[in-house]
Structure 1
Amino acid sequence: MASDVDTAPLVGRADQLAALRSALLDDVAQGHTAAVFLTGESGVGKTRLLAEVSARLRDAGALVLTGTCLDIGDASPLHPLRQALRRFDTELTAAQARTSSAVRGLLQVFDDETPGPDGAGALLERVSRGLHLVAGGRPLVIVLDDLQWVDRSTRQLLLYLLAGLGDLQLSVLAAIRAEALQGAHPLRRVLTELRRLRSVRVVDLAPLDRADTDRLAAAVVGRPLNPEAAELVWQRSGGNPFVAEELARDLREGRDGLSDTLREIFLARVDALPQHAHAVVHAVAAGVEPVEHWLLAQVVRLPEEELIEAVRAAVAHRLLVGADEGYRLRHRLVAEVLAHELLPAERSALHRRYAEALTSATAELHQARLAHHWRLAGEPARALPAAMAAAREAERLHGYAEAHRHWSAALQLADAPAAVPPEPDRATPVEVDRAELLEHAAEAAHHCGEHARALALLEELAGDPAGPPACALHIRRARYLAAAGRSAPAEAEYRRALAAADCTARERATAAAHLAELLLHLGRYAEAGEQAREALQLAATVEGSTSEVVLASAALGFSEAFLEDPDAGLAVMREAVEIAERSGRPEDVACAYLHLAELLTGPLNILEEGVVVARRGAERVAELGLGRTWETRLLAIATNGLFRVGQWSEAEKVVAAALRHRPSGADAVELLLARCRLSVGYGDIEASDRDLEAVATVLAGGGARHVLPMLILRAGLAMWQGRHDLARQAVQRGLTESRSDDVIVLATLAWHGLRAEAEAHASRTVAVDEMAVRRLREVVDRVARKSEHAGRPVRYIVDGFLALCAAELSRLDGRGDPELWARSAAEWDRRNHPYPAAYSRLRQAEALLARRSRVATAGKLLRQAYQMAQGLGALPLSSEIRTLAGRARVTLEERPAPAGGPPVPAPRRPAAAPPTEPTVDELAVLTAREREVLAAVAEGLTNKEIGQRLFISERTIGVHVSHIFDKLQVRTRVQASAIFLRNRGEQS
């Protein structure tokens, strides 16, 4: 950042300023989101650029909330947003009482929020609703500095809002230190995924080039530097604006004998301060920024007037920045330099003063901050209770990553010897059970995804004499191993738990139920069923074991379904629903309905009943207060079932009702994917893109099980857009990243891949990838082999997709096999899936027409397919059917049926002598340039070759071709060429 905002100009950033304003405000429509993440090394000017962009956005009428993430990793959840709201509240006038009330109401949400049945998602939704009130219809921009230190809760909130779930015109501008994103930093993976999205820009802010560095140094000095001085500034700074400014300022002020290192520059500046200002800078450097004025006063212990004069001197020397919320160093490099200049006793004394001041304060106590200072003061006994309180505070707000960090710190503090001998007047430290700390730390690590850490802590707990008994440890270790994807050792641990002598009846039931579920995920359905039966027997002897019964029943039901006994599976699941209803525990009721609905709409393929159960279960769990989580999951199942049976309009109503709950996380992803399936079918490209962008945004924070459905939809959408290369990329990524044994999903993915290659072959716009085809053939063979061992309902669905795959392969091998497409249509008719049935009829007709045989049959197939597609509202499919019918001179509309007879097609006009001119010029809609391009396309030239002939860029040719396709209502170059040749022949 620039070190003197008042005098140093902003050099070399004009283009970025304009681009950022446009990206964050001008290009963001109502209800949409955008984000820009600025990355770069320390001192490159990120903070200064944030300030400049914020000012321009405010001038343009946007509401800008600015916050900073704390740099010690001990921030409470959602700290930067709290800070931004408090800062904004102080700026409001009496005339803005309504906005002030909304701000304070939102701040109260953070203080009052307690875990509820809907979990952390409820807090995110309440925050989003509060921001909507604060914005008051204005565009909202959240500006966050030092995002590399962001807490997990704030990161989740940003992903939630950027996914468009908050119904705001929202933009996010954040700065990140690039050097902090090393190794397994959680933000690194998030940024990698977000870079894929069109609504998100990650701008790597580079250092200034030589010319701009010279300009900046000259502006600071007040005159152009001589070549030797300019070269010195350039060599020392490397274009870093902050360092360049500091070096140039030294030149201006005639400082001699300074080293070329930043350490010496900062030390020289600190040494030049008055005595009290020197103490102030050291105190702020040891604090957690921003350091409030009252807190600084208690740490430096100066009279008020002397303290203010000392702060003024530090600000004048450009070492401190003062704001309403407190003081901060102009650059954190100052703290890094000064940290080595204090004696250990001096540093401990400063941190002790901070801790004592925070302890005695009557204002809100930040336990994480207090623990930080007591720890660095060398008093772990006092830091420990604060660290534990900070962990519980984080858990209250579902900040499990922060809770894990605090519990881990508490463990270290419990083991640390005091650096300072206890004084006689100090209170005796509270005794802490170390085994309890280990349990809390392990569970928090498990919840926040740190599975290796959870397992390590559990091993340590196992060696503690005060730890839990062996059986409880085995169960917990198995849960952690399963979550980490280590299924084999997890299974072994569950079996050890069942064999442990100290295992209680409840623990045996719990271990057996979880083991049954694990075996189910591993595809060992027979073993899963046996284990589930054992779990049910054990649970029957334990009072209040409803959760175990529901879990085991789910495994048993699916096991029976896969082993060709669907009636038995259904009976078990329905009994589980009855047991859950009798117990009245909301989550058990919800879980039972969810599994039953999944069973019906999944392996059993009893779609209509599955939809009914899902909707009935959704109503029931809404009554129990679980509307935002379990109800939305059940409605997502209902939406997908309605889509598959062809009731698209009803599915649209269901998903719209569910999204009104504004779900978050996986619940939101399920619904967005369900809505996207409808949008892809309808041909609403903009809505489909928007939903896929939102899904990708949420999945940036994790959620691998939804990646394959997302990629399948991305491939389907790309094919309707004629982007067969993008469809291929999506399918290949799915095959590479997939670790799923779900043969239905794999079969669906394989069909999309083969369809993309067949479309590419037909259009001749993209070459067929033979390696991709070979890989897809292998996947089809593997799916066929695996499905042989699945239950009849599963084989039933897989066989339908295998029929589609075989037919698509015939398109690649030649002109398509009508018999294979007829078989596919029949397969999907039997399954009551109208969409793939209509698609198969289209391809069957296409294959017949290509062979110039059975034209009447082809016409009948096209009319059937068209009627089905129109009934669904599938516009892209209907358009392709119309295109083929037009080329084949097939009339799609039928005239009324004669009494007692079937409907007959409208008669074609009798053949007449060829007219001298065409009745309609199909090329009249094209411009002169587009006709030139189409003529070259008809010659078989590529876009590159056409560009060379017409002296136009290849990219422009691509735009012309897209316009031609749209105007002629065709999807392939072959179809467009046929129209051109026919019309040219008619006009010659």
Structure 2
Amino acid sequence: MDGAPLVGRTELLEAVRSTLVGAGQGQPTAVFLTGESGVGKSRLLREVGSELRDAGALLLTGACLDIGDASPLHPLRQALRRLDAELTTGPIRASSALRGLLEMFVDQTGGPDGAGALLEQVSHGLHLIAGGRQLVLVLDDLQWADRSTRQLLLYLLAGLGDLQLSVLAAVRAESLQGAHPLRRMLTELRRLRTVRVLDLAPLDRAATEQLAAAVAGEALPTAAAEQLWRRSGGNPFVVEELARDLRDGRDGLSDTLREIFLTRMEVLPPDAHAVVRAVAVGVEPVEHWLLAKVVRLPDDELIDAVREAVAHRLLVGADEGYRLRHRLVAEVLEEELLPVERVALHRRYAQALTGAHAELHQARLAHHWRLAGEPVRALPAAMAAAEEAERLHGYVEAHRHWSSALQLAEAPAVGSAVDRVMLLERTAEAAHHCGEHARALALLEEVAGADASRSACGLSIRRARYLAAAGRSALAEVEYQRALAAADCTPRERATITAHLAELLLHLGRYADAGTRAREALELADTVTGSTSEVVLASAALGFSEAFREDPEAGLAVVRRALDTAERFGRPEDVACAYLHLAELLTGPLNTLEEGVVVARRGAERVAALGLGRTYETRLLAIAINGLFRVGQWAEAEKVAATALRHRPSGAEAVEVLLARCRLSVGYGDIEAADRDLDAVATLCAGGGARHVIPLLTLRAGLAMWQGRHDLARKAVQRGLTESRSDDLVILAALIWHGLRAEAEAHASRSLSVDETAVRRLREAADRVARRAGTAARPVRSVVEAFLALCAGEVSRIDGSDPELWARSVTEWDRRHHPYPATYSRLRQAEALLARRSRSAKAGKLLRQAYQAALGLGAVPLTAEIRTVAGRARVVLTEQGTTAGNPTSSVPADGEELAVLTAREREVLAAVAEGLTNKEVGQRLFISERTIGVHVSHIFDKLQVRTRVQASAILLRNQPPDAR
């Protein structure tokens, strides 16, 4: 464990230090660390011992052996021999006392009559060896201490020896069973104020993941981290072994871990061994009444057996039942148990559960009957468990149970006793709800192939829903049209199709078509009873369309009413869809960003409780990320993105969150991360619509410009103008701006000739957007006008930059509280003023404002460009007297220098000040090493420093005195 960092033990280390300080007042002190094997006791002995040695204490380090009383005072003898080997220089008196003690041990017979004299001699000899220094006796594996060693400890800690003494010892808790003599001794010692017995608990989940990341060299994927936590139980030694296996690509269980747990099992009494085996086979937690039926022991004997297993740190007991402390025990026993033994235990569990409130145990019942080799009895239990999970909105569990039922139905013993097509349909729907869209589509194809009599319309509806969720919007629209044209399409199905089609068109950005379809769906729903879902979907789509195209207030009210209706009737997908449209409307067309972010995050919590965490929660979090990005809260957006990606989304959900994260990466200047996300989105977007394709191409153009690849930016924009049809004027205006900016950048860099045809097409597109915006709702028109101001400014850069056009853009974006485009516009306004060689004072002020804003955002490429322009114009970007590198600068008030840093950047700086590398900081904060590098660059820019030492000095200078 020496190669890995010591994590999760800060408070414990402080408790040990504070206790051992008592030796400085002439009182003997002691800390006894107890805990299970591998929990880190020996590591703590070394850490604390090393600190005390560095502080000037004399260390005597030894370990007890598992050989009873055959070697009196063995750990002390071992410690003295080690000291003798190390003691090359020192007082003659101390060396003489050391040799005298060693010789005394050789001559001593260990008879009981001379025990008191022996202890006194040892104490006196240690006093001479210490020579007035604090003496620290460090003892490992004290559970095997011989009688003489225990007597010596009691003698010394009772204050009978003339020593400035501290004892630091480690004890395996699982060894202190029954009437173990050390157990009684520790009970007595606890009464002394200067003695503490501290139990080392396993690491918590966060510390476990931190340690595993340090060993593996990178943060573990969510699924791997979850499995490691369950298998290790937080035991540091086990965590390290498992993390190394993951790092090196080894499967299975290492021989080291297997032998450790087998050894611990072997010392159990037979009944306790049987209890552990039974719990290992069961579904945790295993209730006491259930365990009694499985192991078939009288209650008194069962309780004794459980106590033994708990005492040996193999089981954990709680009110709800018993659990294995480490799931690895189950893996070890899987190989130890004979197949016939496993089957017998599963059958006992199933039989015990069959008559005991079976409705509460269907999942376990299915599990045990299946592993007992009884598929006929397991199948109905699996189906019941799936239906119960769906009722509780546990769609992941439902999918697992339906998949199990489908597998059980394949058994020859089941035959035709169950409708396999029905199982396929139910499994497909559960897969769709939990985000397994590809599996849902594959199962639906099996349904179509297995039963030709199934309704063509019904199959098309479901296929279209699954395609839309998978991000294949174009194919989904075709499938909905096919469903409408089906001969067997009923009025109810027509209403359903039209409502879903309206929602799809909304996601495609075709708001006029969505409104038309929504009105049609509402008319159809009026003729069908029980069409609440159709009304909710259509109302949300209609409200969004009206808010974008006609009346924002009226449209918003319609969407809010749709949400109220969905909440009243409680169908999860309806609630999620209504929240989605409300959050999108607020953060998009209405530009009410703060409220939209709040609604998105509140909706994410709500739909997570409804079991739709991987799908709709991810989408809502993506909306929150975009809103936070636009208002300049990039650090918070980064945290939300990390939360969303823990769900491992797929399909359209993955596209949404990857695009949102990519905006951050482009802004930060993390080229590699942005490129990776864009490639992933491009793969997932095959068959997608304008809602995803246009932002994808816009981001591709923006990234290419920061790389100086203006030709690639030009191609991306031209593709966006020709390939996608959308009523979303905002994303179209953003795309046009990027196109004109690419031409202006090419002109400014002289690396590429301006494409006059492209400029003409882009200006024509901007004019079309301006005309269409004239009839759009006021908030939409307002944002479009701001983008058109950027477009006008970029055109002027080609023709001869006009500072007044850029001043207008600054005003437009400032009014909307969008810091990034406002900062960019200030840079261009200053550049235009400098090009005209006039009003340089105003240009300098604009550059300084832009510089501070870009630093606050963490926009590295934009900050670098501002610095370049300022350098050419010889503009000082920081106020005189406050530059970090200026030796004549005044020292700001406490904390003032750090005010420019975000909360995340302060966390990174604090870790940097500890001397951690970027990789180590990333492991501590659970973000990538590359992202840490970006943060460090931001910190250097904001604090105006060049080295980590300078940045750390500023942190220390700004800390309160009591924190230094």
Distance 1:821 1:541, change over 3 A: farther
Identity %: 46
Cα 1:829–1:500 change in 2 (3 A) is same
Task: Confirm or deny: 8 A CA contact 1:712 1:730 kept in the other structure.
Answer: no
**1:453/1:784 CA distance change after superposition, 3 Å:** closer
Question: Larger Rg: 1 or 2?
Answer: 2
C-alpha distance after superposition, 1:687-734 (max 9, x if no partner): 67655554554567974312112121133234xxxx777777777777
Which residue in 1 is equivalent to 2:49?
Answer: none
Whether contact under 8 Å (2:281, 2:330) holds in the other structure is: no
Matched, 1:707 2:658: yes
Asked if the contact 2:343/2:371 (under 8 Å) is kept, the reply is: yes
CA 550–611 in structure 1, closer or farther in 2 if over 3 Å, else same: farther
How far is the alpha carbon of 1:171 from its aligned partner?
Answer: 6.8
Q: Which residue of 2 aligns with 1:449?
A: 435
Cα 1:612–1:714, aligned 2, differ >3 Å: closer, same or farther?
closer
In the superposition, relative to structure 1, how do residues 466 and 629 fare at CA in structure 2: closer, same or farther (>3 Å)? same
Distance 2:443 2:463 in 1: 10
1:100-124 CA-to-partner distances (Å, cap 9, x unmatched) read xxxxxxxxxxxxxxxxxxxxxxxxx
- Inter-CA distance 52–673: structure 2 relative to 1 (3 Å threshold): farther
Q: What is the match of residue 391 of structure 1? A: 386
Cα distance in 2 for residues equivalent to 1:757 and 1:389: 57
AA aligned opposite 2:714: R
Q: Secondary structure at the match of 2:38?
A: helix
Name 2:495's counterpart in structure 1.
509
Task: Give the whole-Å Cα distance in 1 for the aligned partners of 2:484 and 2:426.
Answer: 24
Cα distance, 1:820 vs structure 2: 5.2
Q: Give the C-alpha shift of residue 778 in structure 1.
A: 1.8
Equivalent residues of 2:870, 2:877 under 8 A apart: yes
Give the alignment's TM-score, normalised by structure 1: 0.50
Q: How does 1:469-868 map to 2 (within 5 A)?
A: 470-487=456-473, 490-522=476-508, 531-532=517-518, 534-543=520-529, 545=531, 547-552=533-538, 566-567=549-550, 585=568, 595=581, 598=584, 602=588, 607=591, 628-629=605-606, 665-672=618-625, 674-675=627-628, 677-679=630-632, 690=639, 693-694=642-643, 696-697=645-646, 703-718=654-669, 741-742=690-691, 745-746=695-696, 748-750=698-700, 752-757=702-707, 772-786=709-723, 795-813=732-750, 819=800, 826=808, 835=819, 836-846=821-831, 849=834, 853-863=835-845
Q: In structure 2, what is the Cα distance between the partners aligned to 1:496 and 1:954?
A: 55
Q: Scaled by the length of structure 2, what TM-score is found?
A: 0.51
Q: How far apart in 1 are the matches of 2:45 and 2:388?
A: 38
Query: CA offsets per residue over residues 932-959 of structure 1, 9 Å max, x none?
Result: xxxxxxxxxxxxxxxxxxxxx999xx99
RMSD (Å), alpha carbons: 6.6
TM-aligned CA distance change 1:415 to 1:306, over 3 Å: same
Q: Which has the higher contact order (CA 8 A, sep 6+)?
A: 1
**1:442–1:454 contact (8 Å) kept in structure 2:** yes
Distance 1:278 1:924 in 2: 72
Select which of 387, 396, 403 maps to 1:401: 396
Which whole-Å CA distance do the structure 2 matches of 1:830 and 1:590 have between them?
A: 34
The offset of 1:312, in angstroms, is 11
Amino acid at match of 1:842: L
Aligned equivalent of 1:651 = none
Correspondences of 1:454-473 after superposition (within 5 Å): 454-458=440-444, 470-473=456-459
SS of aligned partner of 1:204: helix
> Is the Cα–Cα contact under 8 Å of residues 604 and 620 in structure 2 kept in the other structure?
no
| Alignment-mate amino acid for residue 567 of structure 1 | E
CA apart distance, 1:321: 4.5
Q: Secondary structure at the match of 1:749?
A: helix
**1:509 Cα shift?**
0.9
Task: Flag the 1:536–1:757 CA change in 2: closer, same or farther, 3 A.
Answer: same
Letter paired with 2:502? A
Summarize deviations over 1:136-182 as a string: whole Å, max 9, x none: xx999534xxxxxxxxxxxxxxxxxx8xxxxxx9977789999xxx9
Partner SS, residue 52 of structure 1: coil
Q: Specify the alignment match of 2:223 in structure 1.
A: 187
Specify which of 221, 239, 244 is matched with residue 205 of structure 1. 244
Amino acid at match of 2:483: A
What is the deviation of 1:508?
Answer: 0.6
Contact 1:731 1:752 in 2 (8 A): no
Verify the 8 A CA contact 1:676 1:691 in the aligned structure 2: no
What residue number does 1:937 align with? none
**Matched residue SS, 2:528:** coil
Describe the SS at the equivalent of 1:855: coil
CA contact 1:754–1:809 (8 Å) conserved in 2: no
Counterparts of 2:211 and 2:297 in 1: how far apart (Å)?
Answer: 39
Contact 2:441–2:466 (CA under 8 A) maintained in structure 1 = yes
**Superposed displacement of residue 507, structure 1:** 1.6
Matches within 5 A, 1:120-131: none
The whole-number CA distance in structure 2 between the counterparts of 1:300 and 1:191 is: 28
The residue that corresponds to 1:335 in the other structure is 334
Contact 2:544 2:559 (C-alpha < 8 Å) held by counterparts: no
Match of 2:346 among 351, 369, 375: 351
Structure 1 pair 201/693, CA: closer, same or farther in 2 (3 Å)? Answer: farther
Unaligned runs of 5+ in 2: 13-33, 47-199, 229-238, 610-615, 753-796, 890-916, 920-932, 948-964
Please give the secondary structure, in 2, of the residue aligned with 1:856: coil
Separation (CA, whole Å) in 2 of partners of 1:26 and 1:733: 41
Aligned equivalents of 1:381 and 1:577: distance in 2? Answer: 49
* Distance in 1 (alpha carbons) for counterparts of 2:546 and 2:275: 73
Q: 1:25 to 1:630 in 2, by over 3 A?
A: same
| 1:627 Cα deviation from its structure 2 partner | 9.7
Deviation of the 1:308 alpha carbon: 8.8
Q: CA deviation at 1:415?
A: 6.3
The one-letter amino acid paired with 1:708 is L
Paired with 1:362 and 1:589, the residues of 2 have a C-alpha distance of 33
Partner of 2:550, secondary structure, is helix
What amino acid is the match of 1:707?
A: L
Q: Verify the 8 A CA contact 1:276 1:310 in the aligned structure 2.
A: yes
Partners of 1:593 and 1:362 in 2: CA distance: 38
Q: Distance in 2 between matches of 1:277 and 1:875?
A: 60
Q: Deviations over 1:799-853 (max 9, x none)?
A: 334333333334433698683575666566567556424423423533664xxx5
Would you say how many aligned residue pairs link Structure 1 and Structure 2?
Answer: 644
Any conservation in 1 of the 2:521–2:535 contact (CA below 8 Å)? yes
Rounded to whole Å, the distance in 2 between the matches of 1:806 and 1:848 is: 20
The C-alpha deviation readout for 1:237-286, integer Å capped at 9, x for no partner, is: 99731467799x9xxxxxxxxxxxxxxxx9xx99x999999988986775
Hey, what does 1:646 align to over in structure 2? none
User: Structure 1 residues 57, 496: CA separation in 2 closer, same or farther (over 3 Å shift)?
Assistant: farther
Distance 1:779 1:824 in 2: 25
Note the 1:123-142 alignment, pairs <5 A.
Answer: 142=204
Within 5 Å, give how 1:195-344 maps onto structure 2: 204-206=243-245, 240-242=255-257, 287-288=282-283, 295=290, 297-301=292-296, 321=314, 323-324=316-317, 325=322, 330=329, 332-336=331-335, 338-340=337-339, 342=340
Structure 1 CA distance, aligned partners of 2:453 and 2:699? 48
SS in 1 for 2:204: strand
Q: Aligned equivalents of 2:729 and 2:253: distance in 1?
A: 68
Gaps of 5+ in 1: 1-12, 29-47, 61-137, 144-161, 163-168, 193-199, 210-236, 250-265, 421-430, 633-662, 759-771, 895-917, 927-952, 973-988
Q: Do 1:404 and 1:441's aligned partners in 2 also have CA atoms closer than 8 Å?
A: yes
Q: How many Å separate the matches in 2 of 1:486 and 1:584?
A: 29
- One-letter amino acid matched to 1:187: A
- Distance in 2, matches of 1:371 and 1:860, equals 76
On the 8 A contact 1:292/1:326 being kept in 2, the answer is no
Matches within 5 A, 1:340-379: 340=339, 342=340, 349-360=344-355, 366-379=361-374
The residue aligned with 1:949 is none
Give the partner amino acid of 1:440. Answer: R
| Aligned equivalents of 1:724, 1:357: Cα separation in 2 | 59
